[in-house]
Amino acid sequence: AQSVTQLGSHVSVSEGALVLLRCNYSSSVPPYLFWYVQYPNQGLQLLLKYTTGATLVKGINGFEAEFKKSETSFHLTKPSAHMSDAAEYFCAVMGAGTSYGKLTFGQGTILTVHP
Amino acid sequence: GAVVSQHPSRVICKSGTSVKIECRSLDFQATTMFWYRQFPKQSLMLMATSNEGSKATYEQGVEKDKFLINHASLTLSTLTVTSAHPEDSSFYICSAPPPRGAYNEQFFGPGTRLTVL
């Protein structure tokens, strides 16, 4: 079984400041990890994913995340926040074996960007 | 990228009625689709896996007789909420992996907001 914990249900930053959204996972097998963004009343948009290979993953809109196996973490960062980044962000881990393809999501982190 | 649509985007119904939600893969075939439910201010929870040509598999705690899933073709899965009650009000989202079983990427529909009065 796998699980995901997102530390901080709300994060508030100033425009232009660093964005850091934390995600820790638990998985019995090498994980596939994802970050999604959700705008109000909309579906999910994939920001980035880690499957294998390079542990620093770059995604859309200037976001990146680093897979750290020793820390079981996959934190999402962006050097400079924009107002348009305000949304809810979900970290997710994909199952393996018979659960392959199924996503387990974290609780979500609402990002607020203020001028 | 691949596109997944859902219909309707919003539905309001009376308690006791049934509601059907469609999930379509528009430009690819999907032998498997996933249905998630998201309660207000909560995360997404996987409800069931929809398999083309066979029965859906439900996650623990999800009532299969209440949430009927039919995957009648390679591009369409439907979720029917039977005898809906206010506690079924939620945001329902489907997803589909792209062809060739590359489950490490999934495409999500835009979601359906169900409100049961």
pLDDT digits (tens, 9 = 90+) for B15-25: 999 999 999 99
On the question of pLDDT at A16 being above 70, the answer is yes
Over residues B88-102, the pLDDT tens digits come to: 999 999 999 877 666
Contact A51/B at CB under 8 A: yes
Say if residue A7 is exposed, middle or buried (CB neighbours under 10 Å; 0-12, 13-18, 19+): middle
Over residues B30-46, the pLDDT tens digits come to: 889 999 999 888 889 99
Contact B89/A at CB under 8 A: no
Which two tokens mark B94? Answer: 């489907």
Write down the mean pLDDT value for chain A: 93
- Return d(Cα A33, Cα A91) in angstroms, integer: 7
On the question of pLDDT at B53 being above 90, the answer is no
What's the average model confidence in pLDDT over B75-86? 96
pLDDT on residue B1:
63
**Nearest-by-Cβ selection for A106 from B43, B97, B106:** B43
- Return d(Cα B84, Cα B13) in angstroms, integer: 8
Q: Is the Cβ–Cβ distance between B10 and B72 less than 8 Å? A: no
Q: Is the Cβ–Cβ distance between B96 and B29 less than 8 Å? A: no
Contact A33/B at CB under 8 A: no
Determine the residue among A6, A48, A49, A103 to mutate to test chain B binding: the one whose Cβ has the most chain B Cβ atoms within 10 Å: A103
Say if residue B20 is exposed, middle or buried (CB neighbours under 10 Å; 0-12, 13-18, 19+): middle
Find chain B residues with C-beta within 8 A of A44's C-beta. Answer: 44, 93, 95, 108
